[in-house]
Chain A
């Protein structure tokens, strides 16, 4: 008996949606084995990780708080990934967005105006776009690889934040703690559910998801993005301008990540701190793939991945599991997803090669 892969006559549409489910299932099984190896009751661990945290309304609200930046960033990334533009520096773009919008909040610290919050969000977007514009211009003009430049800029961005928070942006009355002042109320996002941290940014993110869907599926820009990603020569034949699409996708994903940074500082954090994101910019890469680079899928995948963060925090407290388990979950999920994606274009063929099979 031999198992081999054979090409399907045409790609399976059903598998496109089933393979994330297969991947989630395989991840659950494997992580239970992993917990068992770590001398932890697998069922208790899974419960602590994935069920306990969302068993209350508060828990659900917190889940959506964490899902917001993941969804937002992944929406931007999925547009780029479809065009084969690999912006993996969203973490840096988020950081710059946080610095820009937080900078506005601190500059107008004692001004009470309804324009402050919108200005912060706009500056957040601009900050992210600025950081993404660097790989864009380098790719368009000098043909540099955006993967490497956007990633290098993430390290630079994080160091820049560290410098600013130890210097110019530090709270003058903060006993030298590397933190900014707490933002004024007019610089904070309105809360949707009283008593929780769930802010209006979540609703804005859903709205942006709808806009992204329109852009990708209904608009000519989305068509161009998909063509250039699947068949660059066909895009040239159709007269699509590659450079324009590089700019659009990088600025869009940078802007989305920057907005996520603005949401973080004006939402759950409420000030500038040395660590703004627990790696949302990287996890969003997984969210984008898990969501099939489709806006609706990204929303669902973002919520699922937020659960791994929430569960990681919870399990660390209740079961004393190391927080790093979250990263392992996320990585495994992506591996299983990439592996099961083969079933979209191939199917298993069982039987020996000599015998006739159909």
Chain B
């Protein structure tokens, strides 16, 4: 598969080490990438992939280690230098500016010499050659996530790179867009461009990459040829243990509607937000409803509307069983039996600089009766906090420790514990395992399924399709602020889901949905 080219590696790293206070992000990492090779850097969140890549691209310095570019030892001090050498990078969280145009964005990321030439024509040429259509004069905030990624790719290609770094490029794309991107990457590889492809998605790596370097806890644990491995064997190397899938108890409970949303429409408050348009769905007791969709299609707005951070226009557009709660504030909804887990752990679900017990008080105050004449019943809150830590296996030395001192997985377990111990009738969670280590993620998914089996109505909004397939009974797709009818998880394929996420079948061809259900 690998095109035959020069024997000198394009890039080679020796013994790269980078420490942060309290953690070794990279420990003695070696890496070798040949010309034209698509090389996967595989690892869980927090395995040290991003740190390593930032070192290669000159964004961050390492504590020790050397780098060879085309066989010559080199020091890359900053991204400008990296670009000059011929390294291009597409960031996971794009390095784009919403208030600037496509052309301005591209021009900022390339040397001023190229930027000064006839940029419009160059952009269109590259777009055509690699099938990446772009309008140079559009403002970035008007573009979809897929289009934004194209800007980054085109920006890199304009500099005629010898190596392209892609950091988790597919996490925001539909399966169809992924296929398109892979076509471009294979074409580049055939032209001799090396690609360092960072991901934790196993199937993708098997489909695309020639070689894979697997990292765990900051170290390289294996280098392999993905063709000779199964996704399962690579997952084992990545996580270092056998992976458990959640246990489900099937249909043992009587289902009755717990959360009923009817004709919910809300205009977004944000300048670049998505409006919710006529949303209808029901979550029954004892089931998990999953809502899939690409980021930026109204998930955050839906979450805000459900939690009461943004109120609906009519009381009956949101009902808990028979009670209209559309005009209820968050704490009134909590009283009615709903709990919420927002996407951002630090700053939204928890106050970073406050202690764990204060964070337990944050959302537990109303339901758990932690207030007396307006004063805080500290002893009770602390007992509750100890309870959360014990029951949900949160690793922390002390409940006085501040929230930001916990690892992502631990904090997320704490947040789920805080909400679940309030005995909810309905739980709404968005991106429940985003950026969480595999062990904690499995525990969180299991706790959601357990909740459902006890009769709680569970709503999960997520971008992680594997997760949704694993835990949901039914699935809906949110696209451009509209929600598709729900479909039984067993009767939908990944391909159909992908089409729906791209806004294709459900919203333009009504027939498709009939075929499925």
Contact = CB atoms under 8 A, between A and B. Distances in A.
A219 interface: yes
Interface stretch (B187-195, B361-369, B452-460): B361-369
Given A6-B21, A219-B375, A239 B349 contact: no
B331 A10 contact: no
B360 to A, nearest CB: 11
Given A230-B352, A353-B61, A237 B21 contact: no
Contact of A223 (B350, B352, B361): B361
Nearest to A232: B347
Nearest to B332: A239
A295 to B, nearest CB: 16
Nearest to B370: A220
A231 B362 CA distance: 12
A231 B376 contact: no
B19 A358 contact: yes
B126 interface: no
A219 B377 CA distance: 10
Contact of B374 (A6, A11, A219, A231): A219
B167 interface: no
A218 interface: yes
B405 interface: yes
B375 A231 contact: no
B405 A9 contact: yes
B371 A220 contact: yes
B383 interface: no
A236 B330 CA distance: 8
A103 B494 CA distance: 77
B21 A238 contact: no
Contacts of A356: 17, 19, 63-64
A220 B381 CA distance: 13
Main secondary structure of the interface of A (DSSP, over half): mixed
Contact of B354 (A226, A241, A358): A226
Contact of B351 (A8, A11, A221, A231): A231
B417 interface: no
Contacts of A221: 374
A227 interface: yes
B21 A239 contact: no
A351 to B, nearest CB: 11
Contacts of A239: 308, 329-332, 334, 366
Contacts of A233: 342, 344, 347-348
Contacts of A8: 21
B44 interface: no
Interface in A1-45: 6-11
A354 interface: yes
Nearest to A217: B376
A358 B18 CA distance: 11
A234 interface: yes
Contacts of B363: 237-238
Given A233-B342, A238-B365, A356-B63, 20 more contacts: A7-B20, A7-B21, A9-B405, A10-B401, A219-B374, A220-B371, A220-B374, A223-B361, A230-B352, A234-B348, A234-B351, A237-B309, A237-B330, A237-B342, A237-B348, A238-B363, A239-B329, A239-B332, A239-B334, A358-B19
9 contacts: A8-B21, A220-B365, A223-B361, A231-B347, A237-B340, A238-B330, A238-B362, A354-B63, A356-B17
- Considering the complex of A and B, which 3 residue pairs feature the smallest CB-CB distances, nearest first? A239-B330, A239-B331, A233-B348
